[in-house]
Amino acid sequence: MPKTAGFAILLCSLAAAQTPPPILRIIRMSGADTLISPARYAAARAQVEVLGIRASTGLPETWAIEMHPTFASIEDLETALGIVPMPPAGPGADESLPSSRILIAYYRAGWGYRSEEAVRMLPRARYLHIAVYRMRPGGDDQLEKFMAARRRRMDAVNLDRPDLVYHVVSGAQSGLYIVLAPIVSLRKLDEGVAKLPTYAEPTVAAENQAGLDSAVSLESLLFKMEPAISYVSSDFAAADPTFWRR
């Protein structure tokens, strides 16, 4: 996959610092089919990593998670993709577009749990656990306090489940937060269940008891990483090239 030299330098510096992506653009598509096209990203010489994931739980969904360093990067990508034609539909493909939603979210530093570890785990992850918090207006401060308490609870049991917290700023109603937790193997969940006390489980009831009464809902989803619909650099794929380049 061709990448510019400048982009390679940028990726190396980000990898060295283990910095979470500052901006995410998330393209959610319902149904089993997907319009995610790694070939289009490649033809546009996109300078971002794009993780393609499919729902393992809940309704059938496919997400593309674009990792951007700035908002300007989103503009640059849209400009580049705009001049690359969409590939023709395959035989028997539904010509109607699946329902979709595009979200833009920014990283909330200090809100996640061992976020630097989560960044290091992403290239080796086979699944993503995604928690979607919907807050009432004015609940942001309360969520920040809850996340701090949550980190203390998880540290108390030394839970090996690092994650990243993002605040959705466009594409949805206000008060939407997304927590991304990379999972190298589902066996890790077995280990977590064995050692995680009830009070540390992330449920709305438990959070309301902890003072998070502004939570409207908590949706917990499990997604599987899909290399065939992902667009990642050689540096990213180097953690497991047999998986990402198969």
* Amino acid occupying residue 192: G
Which residue in this structure is represented by tokens 């109603």? 173
Cα 65 to chain centroid, rounded: 6
pLDDT at 138: 73
pLDDT at 178: 93
pLDDT at 186: 87
**Burial label, 91 (beta-carbon count in 10 A; 0-12, 13-18, 19+):** exposed
Half-sphere exposure of 159 (CA within 13 A, CB side): 25
Which residue in this structure is represented by tokens 């917290």? 165
Report the C-alpha gap between 45 and 83 in whole angstroms. 11
pLDDT at 201: 54
pLDDT, tens digit (0-9, with 9 covering 90-100), for 95-117: 333 456 889 999 999 898 889 99
DSSP 184: S
Domains detected in the chain: 5-244 (3.30.70.100)
pLDDT at 244: 95
pLDDT, tens digit (0-9, with 9 covering 90-100), for 37-71: 898 899 999 999 999 999 999 888 899 999 999 99
pLDDT at 195: 54
- How do the pLDDT tens digits run along the chain, 246 residues long? 444 444 443 444 444 447 899 999 999 888 655 667 898 899 999 999 999 999 999 888 899 999 999 999 999 999 998 876 655 544 444 433 345 688 999 999 989 888 999 999 999 999 999 999 888 777 777 778 888 888 887 777 767 789 999 999 998 888 889 999 999 988 877 765 555 555 555 544 444 444 556 666 788 899 999 999 999 999 999 999 999 987
Contacts of 57 (CB under 8 A, 6+ apart): 220, 221, 222
DSSP 173: -
3-state DSSP call for residue 68?
strand
